[in-house]
Structure formats: structure tokens, C-alpha cells
Structure 1
Amino acid sequence: MVAVILAGGENKRFPVNKCLLKIDGRRVIERNIELLSKYFKRIIISTNNPELYFRYRLQLVGDVLNIRGPMTGIYSVLNLPDVSSVFVFACDMPFINGYLVKYMLDRWSEEYDVMVPVFNGVPQPLHGIYSKTIAESMEMCLKTCERSLCRFIMDKKVYYINEEVVKSIDLDGKAFININTLEDYEKGIGGKICLV
């Protein structure tokens, strides 16, 4: 399994690239790379702006379809011949929780297509594991203009990590907070629960 940092967002509501922002003196993407490197030998950045990430010396993968959204980034990495499954995390989510990542990795099995935690009654697909087995149906979905990950996974074999377990690891759901606006960033830990 490889870790994938989804860094292909358009930053429409933000004046600069969100994953290059600093929190507690460190860039969000650097915090995420450091934590993910404890659990994964291989980390890929999914981006259409590779020049921003050369400094990290990680594999960079661009979208293979001209369709915007995180599902395209996931699909593009699943298309790599040597990738069988991916753990994905959005680059503008600065508070990745290592205990939750480990919990997911310890319970992942090839019998599932997807694994996602549930928080506040909502699946969190930008903090999930996806199997290559869904790549073909993901492509069909994208080509019919359906880009919602939550809707896409509804008919798949999904391991939903129930909310009680998630809250026992991350009570406030900080792992699912993302930076959407300048106001979110200025709050430091602000933001909204990431709903896709």
C-alpha cells in the first residue's frame, strides 16, 4: 500500500496553495509527509502542479483524465501498475492522526474495496483506503460526471470505521478538519469537517 497526498485542488477560495501554508512554523504538507513516512515506505503526491513539490523528492502523479476533483487523483494513482491499494489524505487537512492511520492499516483486508472513518454521521472519504479493484468503476463514474466519493462508494464493499471507535482515537475529529478559507487558516485549527 502507498500513501497518497491529494494536492490537486484549485484553491478557488484561498489566495495561495493551501498545502504550503505554515501551522506552528511548518508547512502543512511537510507535517503530513513526516507523519505518513512513519507508516508508509512510499508516498505519492497527486498534483497537476509538480513544480511546487520537487523539493520533497517524492513521486508526483498528475491526473490521467481531464476531470477535476479528488476522485481523479485517486484514480490516477490506482492506475499505476505497481499500486494495489492507496491510503489517501487531502493536503489541506493539517491534523492527520497517526493512531487513526495505524488503526486503519491494521484492519485493512483485500476483501474490501474501500475503508473510511465515519465522523458526525458522515463518511470521511478524504481519509480513506481504496483498492485497485475499484479503478475501472471509478473511471466509468468519472466519465459520467459523477465526482462525489461518498456517492461512489455507496455500492462498494466498504469497511466503515464506526464513529465510537473514531472518537475514541480522535474525539474532536481534528483529522477531518480542512482549510477552506483564509479565516479557517487564521484560526489555526479552524475549518469545517471535510464533506465530499
Structure 2
Amino acid sequence: MALPCTGVILAGGLNKRFDGQNKAFIRIGGKRIVDRLLEVYLGLFEQIVLVTNDPAAYMDVDALIVTDHYSVRSSLNGLHAGLFAAAHEHAFFVACDTPFIKVALIQRLLDTVTPKADIVIPSTSAGYEPMFAVYKKTCLPAMVWQLERDLLKIQGLFRKLRVKTVDEAALRREDPELVSFFNVNSPADLVRAEAIHKQNG
């Protein structure tokens, strides 16, 4: 059953390490990453939003396409645009270059949402995973405050808002190898992604 939550895909990166090739359209196992994400989202969310500054490239994607509100390029800008467009009080975010997101792990985060939490975020030995997290509409004023001052680090939000974490042990119960956090940033990552795809069938 779809949950009363919006699912957001952030597709605003510059893709410098792929010579400008759009990472959302990279194929792994013959399927575009954006289509892999949509397959997961369609079973979870009542509304799907995709944030991009190239809307024309996504005309075949069944989602609400929105663009950044601020001219500066940053992940925080994308978070703001997606959360602003969300029809629900909460929105789950993921980047467009993460091909192996697990339904069970997203569900774990959604089950952790409480009225007092503004952000629900995975916490591992490597740190927080702000691009695989649930944000509440109450985050918007803090996002605007930072964006208007060119304070673009997402971590700045964590000092202003109520953050609830999901620890690594709980995360690994749903995704033992934490492949949900693996993103394709370079050609070498693409090679590894194909190997993960073959290993997982």
C-alpha cells in the first residue's frame, strides 16, 4: 500500500566524471537507474517528485518534474525544491545515481518517523546519509535561511532541527551490505555496479 509520503528523486548533478552524461540514464543490467528507482517508488509512495534543471530530458518519466528555486547548484537546493513540491508532510529523498535502493530499508526509515522528528536519517560508521533520508516540511524555513546565505552544507540543518537517526545495526538488518547507499560517481563505480547487479541476480 502506498504511504502518505512523497518520494523524491534528486537529479540535479553536473555529472562531471561522466563527461556530462546524465547519470540517471546510465544503464545497469540493461535498465536505466531512474527506472530502477521508479520501480521501487511506485510501490511505496502516493506522489513521486523528480528535481532537475533539465526538465525536457525527463518527459518520459512518470513523476512531477520540478526545478530548483535558487540559482546556486547544491544538494540542499534540490532538497528544498523537492520538499516544497511535496504534497505530503514528509518526503523521502534519494539521488538519481543510486541503483540498488532497498524497499525494506526505506520502509525502516518511514517506520521510524515520529511527530517530533524533522529529519530521519541513516547513521553509519561513515557518517550520516543525507541523500537517503526523510525530511519533514518543518525543515523548509531552515533550508531557506541557509540557501539565502549561501550556507550550502546539508549538515548545517542538523544543528537547527530535530534529527532522529537509524543506526547501522538496524540498517544492516534490512540491507546487509548497505548497497542502498552505493552511488555511481565514476566509470569505476559503474563497473562495480554491474558486478553488484550480477551478484544479486
| Same fold per superposition (TM over 0.5) | yes
1:9 aligned residue (8, 13, 21): 13
Q: Quote the offset at 1:154 in angstroms.
A: 3.2
> 1:53-74: CA deviations, max 9, x gaps?
1101311010011121111111
The one-letter amino acid of 1:87's match is: F
Structure-to-structure mapping, 1:125-144, within 5 angstroms: 125-144=130-149
> 1:96-148: CA deviations, max 9, x gaps?
01101111112212321100011224110100000111101111112222222
Structure-to-structure mapping, 1:58-97, within 5 angstroms: 58-80=63-85, 82-97=87-102
1:154 aligned residue (151, 159, 178): 159
Structure 2, unmatched stretches of 5+, are 197-201
2:176 aligned residue (164, 171, 188): 171
**TM-score normalised to structure 2 length:** 0.89
Give the conservation status (yes or no) of the 8 Å contact 2:15–2:22. Answer: yes
Q: CA RMSD in A?
A: 1.7
Q: Quote the offset at 1:83 in angstroms.
A: 3.9
The one-letter amino acid of 1:137's match is: A
Whole-angstrom CA distance in 2 between matches of 1:70 and 1:35? 22
Structure 1, unmatched stretches of 5+, are 192-196
Aligned positions, number: 191
Q: Report SS of the residue matched to 1:95.
A: coil
Q: Are 2:83 and 1:102 aligned?
A: no
The one-letter amino acid of 2:67's match is: G
1:114 aligned residue (115, 119, 125): 119
Amino-acid identity (%): 28
**TM-score normalised to structure 1 length:** 0.91
